[in-house]
Amino acid sequence: MNATTSSPIPHEAGDEALDKRRVADQAYDAIENLIATLALKPGAPIVEAELIERIGLGRTPTREALMRLVANGLIVQLPRRGLLVSDIQLAQHLDLLEARRALERLIASTSARRATPPQREALLACAAEMTAAAKAGNLTAYLQADQALDHVNHAACRNQAAVAAVIPMVIQCRRFWTAYQHQGDMSEGARCHQLLAEAIAQGQSEAAAAAADQLMDYLRQFAQQVIA
């Protein structure tokens, strides 16, 4: 609560606001997943009514999610054309990875210090799911586990500024990887995430930062292969 607030928020109102926040987050995750997995392709128009029906979460949370996605650069708003899914920028992707590297090191090392025991267990479980999905060649399950691991890692670090900065980059990378995954290696990606999860789970800050670097090295090598 803000220090200048004259009276506390009633319990019921606070619960209602929290419920709305959770629904908006669900809408954001659902639309992000559609974009990241190319179910909504680059350049595709956003038709609000169709999107609301598709994710089934109502107009208000959907609109809030769309506003966040515009702010994050995954959706663009053009005069007389409305909302469109943003294009994949090949030329800028390596620069994005370099910026993401610094943030991922910070988040990983901080998570190693701050994660709760349940969060440490959850990270290991997500990494195990990624490994199993990679072995099965199940791209959908792999991406779902990847997203879940990110959510836990971001919550564990408790650095909202870093998380807010890295989320658009994570989504752009996930979409880039999905678009060109025929040139990628799910097993190697899963291995990098496993190393990251283990280092955080063991509370090893330096090892977690090094594992984040390995993940970024893998993504950079993959991007260079695509661009070449």
Could you report the per-residue pLDDT of 94-148, keeping only the tens digit for each?
999 999 999 999 999 999 999 999 999 999 999 999 999 999 999 889 988 998 9
Q: Are 156 and 113 in contact (CB under 8 A)?
A: no
Residue 1: the pLDDT is 37
pLDDT at 12 over 70: no
Rounded mean pLDDT, 60-74: 89
Residue 5: the pLDDT is 36
Rounded mean pLDDT, 143-161: 95
The average confidence (pLDDT) of the chain is: 87
Residue 96 to residue 91: CA distance in whole angstroms: 10
Domains and CATH numbers, the chain: 11-85 (1.10.10.10), 90-227 (1.20.120.530)
* 54 sits in which H/E element: helix 48-55
| Candidate ranges 40-54, 137-151, 188-202; pick with highest mean pLDDT | 188-202
Residue 184: the pLDDT is 65
Q: Are 38 and 139 in contact (CB under 8 A)?
A: no
Residue 17: the pLDDT is 42
- pTM, 2 dp: 0.78
Rounded mean pLDDT, 170-185: 81
Residue 24: the pLDDT is 83
| Phi and psi angles of residue 159, each rounded to the nearest 5 degrees, phi first | -125, 90
Share of the chain above pLDDT 70, in %: 89
For 166, other C-beta atoms within 10 Å of its C-beta total 23
Look up residue 34 and give its two tokens. 């559609």
Confidence category of residue 207, pLDDT binned at 50, 70, 90: very high
